[in-house]
Amino acid sequence: MASFNYSFQKIVDLKTSEKTQAEWLLSTALGALSDEEKSLEQLRETKHEWEQKLLEASEQGVPLSDLRMIGQYVEHLQSRIELKLKDVRLAERAVEQNRSKLADKMKDEKVWLKAKDHAFDRFKQALQLKEQNELDEMATVRFMMPTT
């Protein structure tokens, strides 16, 4: 039996490789987004702790300079939170872009795999037709042979 060799197999392999690479890029982007979100959460927790310290310090009669310093630090944390929110949005955009690219690569690969499947089906049909013709010819030859 003849073996099936798809003439565009290198393209199929390339499309599969591109899809795998897109999956890796999406995974990396998701990891970066997760890191940014964790960092944002840590900043929020730190800010909350320092707000509690500011509240306790104001109740205990701490010098005004210390209260001001704690207040400035809380403001600094707030500005860092706002910057981190921008970083999170950028990371979310990167994830969405990578998802879109992966979807495109998956469609591309699927098209080429379908084309390969259709080529294989045509190959099988041609092979079956050839076998059937050979069997028909054998039957014709036997029928034509004189019986003794």
| Three-class DSSP category at 108 | helix
Span 75-110, pLDDT tens digits: 999 999 999 999 999 999 999 999 999 999 999 999
Report whether pLDDT(41) > 90: yes
d(CA 112, CA 118): 10
Token digits of residue 115:
């084309």
d(CA 83, CA 69): 21
Residue type, 56: E
Helices (H) and strands (E) in the chain, counts: 2, 0
Mean pLDDT of 50-72: 91
User: Residue 144, exposed/middle/buried by CB under 10 A (0-12, 13-18, 19+)?
Assistant: exposed
d(CA 20, CA 16): 6
- pLDDT for 79 equals 98
Span 122-147, pLDDT tens digits: 999 999 999 999 888 888 887 787 66
d(CA 67, CA 53): 9
Residue type, 141: V
Q: What is the mean pLDDT of the chain?
A: 93
d(CA 124, CA 129): 9
d(CA 18, CA 41): 35
Give the pTM: 0.76
Q: Where are the domains of the chain?
A: 9-109
Report whether pLDDT(1) > 60: no
